[in-house]
Chains A and B, each alone.
Chain A
Amino acid sequence: MAQVRPARGRRSLGLTLVVSEITVLFRRLRTWAMIGALALIPILIAVVVRVSSDGAASGRGPAFLNSITQNGLFVSLTALTVAIPLFLPLTIGVVAGDTIAGEANLGTLRYLLVAPAGRLRLLLVKYAGAALFCFVATLTVVVTGAIIGALLFPVGPVTLLSGDTVGIPGYFVRLLLLALYVTVSLMGLSAIGLFISTLTTIPVGAMAATAALAAVAQILGALPQLEWLHPWLFTNYWLGFGDLLREPIVWTSFADNALLQFGYIAVFGTLAYGRFSTKDILS
C-alpha cells in the first residue's frame, strides 16, 4: 500500500480543457444573448436605413452609413464602426471579467484546481476562451451585416477608400481581415479583464470594471491635451482599420495595433499570473 506510485496515465496536452471551456461558454444562455444583441446592431441599422432611405444622404451619422443604400455590403462596416466603441467592449468585459471570478463565485474554481487543472494552464485556457469569444462576437456583426445588407439592398463590387474597386469575393476577404483586426484590437482588453477577474470573487464587479476601463481609455483618447498618452492606450487603433480597405492593403496600423495589444497581453497576463498563482482560493 505504501509503494510510491506515479500519477496515473500519460499527461495529455490538456486540449480537452480548452474544448470544455469553449463548450461551457457557448452553452450559456448569456453568451447567446450577447451574440444575439450583437447581431441586432447591423439588422437595426439596415432596417432603419431601408425604411427611411430618402433622407439618408445627409452626410451625418456613423462612417459608411451613407454608402449602404448604394451597396448593401457596407452594412457590415457601418455596424462594426458602431459596435467597436461601446457594445463589443461591453460583451468582452462580461466574458473576460467572468473568467476567474465567475468560477470563484460558483465555487467551481476549487474543483478545477483540485482536479488539478494547474493555475497557469487554467489562466491560459480562460484567456483562449475569451479570445475566441472576441472573434465570434466580431464575426457575428460582420456576417449578420453581410446577410441583411444583401437582403435589403443591392450588392455589387465595392469602391475602396483608395478609389479602387474590388469584386464581392475580394471584399469578403477584406471583411474577414477586418474581423481579425477587431479581434486583435480586443485582445488587450481581454487580458485586462482576465487580470481584474483574478482580483475578486464577484464577477459583476470584474465585468463592470473591465467595461469601464474601455470607456475611460476612449475618453482619454479623445482628449487632445493627452496626445502623448494616446499611443499607449489599448483603444488607440480600435477604429484604425481603414488601411485594410485600400489597394494595396496598408499593413502598418495592423502591425502597430498587434504590437500594442501584445504589450498589454504581456503586462496584464503577467500580472494575472502573479496574482492567481499565489491566491488563496477561499470561495
Chain B
Amino acid sequence: MRSAHDERTAREGATGLAIETRGLTKVFGRQRAVDGVDLAVPRGTVFGFLGPNGSGKTTTIRMLLGLAAASSGEIRLLDGAMPKDARAVLPRVGALVEGPAIYPFLSGRANLQRFDAADRHTSPSTRNARVDAALERVGLGHAAKKRAHAYSLGMKQRLGIANALLAPRDLLILDEPTNGLDPQGTREVRNLIRSLSDDGTTIFVSSHLLAEVEQMCTMIAVMSAGRLVAQGTLDDLRSQGTARVRITTPDPADARRILSGLGLVPEPHGRDDVVTAELSVPGLQSEAVNAALVRADVRVRGLEVSGASLEDRFVALTGEGFDVAG
C-alpha cells in the first residue's frame, strides 16, 4: 500500500525523513500494542498519525522519544538512531505525549521553567523570555502566574503544547493536541501548527479524529490494532477508495441489466425504484453509466455518486463502532 510519494521519499534515503521506523514493535505481556510499524515521515510535512483509541499511537510515540524501549525494530529520528542518540536528537524535538502533565502547585510559568531547566542545551539567560513567548503563543499569557491546578483541561493542554515550543524545534511530535479544547481552541491549534510548519518544522500529529487530520495534514498514516494499515498523501488514500453510484428509476430491472452489461455488480436495495452499485470497473465514470442507461431508454430520475470519502476509507481500514482494540 505504498504510494508513489512514499517510493520517492524512500529513494531519497534517511536524510529526507524526519522519522523513520522499521518493523517497530512493542509487546505488552501477550499483546502486540505496536506491531511491525514502518513509518516514513518526510521532513517539512504535517503528518497525521490517525487511529482509533488503543490502536498504538501513544505507544509508538513513546518509543520514538526513547521513553519506552522497542521490543524489536529500528527508529531513526532526525539524524540519529533512537534511543542511542537521544542526547543529541531530543533537544531538537518538542513533544506532547499522552496529554499534558503539570506540577499542580506551580504556576504555569514555573512549570515551563522547570521543563526548560531539564534541557541542558537551552540557555538559562533566555529562559524567561522563551517561556513567556511560548505562553503567549498558546494564548496563556494572562494565566502565566496562576497555579496550574486551577487551569481548566483546555488550559493544561495549551500549557503542554507551550512546553513543546520552548525552543526552536526541527520536529514536533504532538499526541492528540486538540484533546479537551473547545472549537475555538482547536482552530487556534490548527493555525499554530500551520504557522510552525511554514517555519519549516516537521510536525507529526496523532489523532483519532479523521476530520481533524484532514484539515491539518498533507500526509497521513493509519493505525489499526497496532498495525500500520495505510500511509501516504491524503489524495493517495482517497483514490484508493471506490465510489458508489445510486440510480433512481421506474425501470429498475432494465437498469440492473445495463449495469451488469458494463461489468458492475448491482446490489439489492430496499426500495424497488433504486439501484445501487460500486463503481468497481477501473476507468468507468458515472457519466458513462448515465449515457449507457439513456441509450437503452432507461428512464433515469436521479443519479448520485457517493463514497470515495476518506471517512469510508478510514472505516474500511480500522473498522467501525466502539470496539476498542486491546
Q: Which residues of A contact B (CB under 8 A)?
A: 1-2, 4-12, 14, 16-17, 19-20, 24, 27-29, 106-118, 121-122, 278, 280-282
Contacts and interface: CB of A to CB of B under 8 A. Distances in A.
Contact of B101 (A111, A278, A282): A111
Interface string B43-87: 110000000000000000010011111000000000100000011
B92 A8 contact: yes
Interface of B: 15-16, 43-44, 62, 65-69, 79, 86-93, 95, 97-106, 110, 113-124, 163, 167-168, 170, 200
Given A8-B167, A9-B121, A107-B101, A115 B90 contact: yes
Given A2-B43, A20-B114, A24-B114, A12 B88 contact: no
Contacts of A107: 98-101
Contact of A115 (B97, B103, B118): B118
Nearest to B101: A107
Interface centre among A8, A108, A113, A115 (most CB of B within 10 A): A115
Contacts of B115: 108, 111-112, 115
A116 B105 contact: no
What are the 3 closest A-B residue pairs judged by CB atoms, nearest first? A107-B101, A115-B118, A20-B117
B88 A6 contact: yes
Nearest to B79: A4
A16 B121 contact: no
Given A110-B67, A278-B69, A27 B106 contact: yes
B117 A16 contact: yes
B-side interface mostly: loop
A116 B163 contact: no
Contacts of B89: 7
A34 to B, nearest CB: 15
A281 B62 contact: yes
Contacts of A115: 90-91, 115-116, 118-119
A9 B88 CA distance: 11
A281 B62 CA distance: 8
Contacts of A19: 117
B91 A7 contact: yes
A16 B103 contact: no
Given A20-B114, A280-B69, A111 B163 contact: yes
A11 B103 contact: no
Contacts of B106: 24, 27
Given A2-B16, A280-B68, A108 B101 contact: yes
A114 B105 contact: no
A116 B69 contact: no
A7 B88 contact: yes
B101 A27 contact: no
B91 A112 contact: no
B95 A281 contact: no
22 contacts: A2-B16, A7-B92, A8-B167, A9-B121, A12-B120, A16-B117, A17-B120, A20-B114, A29-B105, A106-B101, A106-B102, A110-B98, A110-B101, A111-B95, A111-B101, A111-B118, A112-B115, A113-B66, A113-B67, A114-B95, A116-B87, A117-B119
